[in-house]
Amino acid sequence: MAASRRRSEPPVPGALREILESAAAAGADSVELEYVPEGVEICVMAAGMGIGRVVDRKVGRSVIDFIVRAAGLGGRERGALEIHLAGQPYTLRVESYEHLGEWAYRIMFPHPRRRKRA
């Protein structure tokens, strides 16, 4: 009798790993992905401000397809993405929402717990 095998998840697209690792290292609050005419805009957000870039539609589509599948967003607005970034495990919250007639996505980093002052 063959041992049951767990279906392996496809590898994280390199573009997504690069973006999330640099965002985590910079202390970002979230990463937002949104379709624009030129492709997919990816913004790293921190303290209410963001900096972004546009990737071509093919790369952006592969990143978004991975996020939707890995975070379990099929038919849902919220999910979680478990990923290792720079050797550290993260559970990132993911939201999908409609913006100007297109779906957009927000990946949120966990906030460190603040200690109460004595």
Q: What are the tens digits of pLDDT across the range 71-118? A: 999 878 999 999 988 888 999 999 999 988 889 999 999 876 555 555
Helix, strand or coil, per DSSP, at residue 46: strand
Q: Match 């624009």 to its residue by tokens.
A: 36
Encoding tokens for residue 38?
Answer: 């030129």
pTM of the model: 0.82
List, for residues 34-61, the tens digit of each pLDDT value.
Answer: 999 999 999 999 988 999 999 999 999 9
Q: Which fold has domain 14-108?
A: Beta-Lactamase (3.30.450)
Cβ contacts of 58 within 8 Å, gap of 6 or more? none
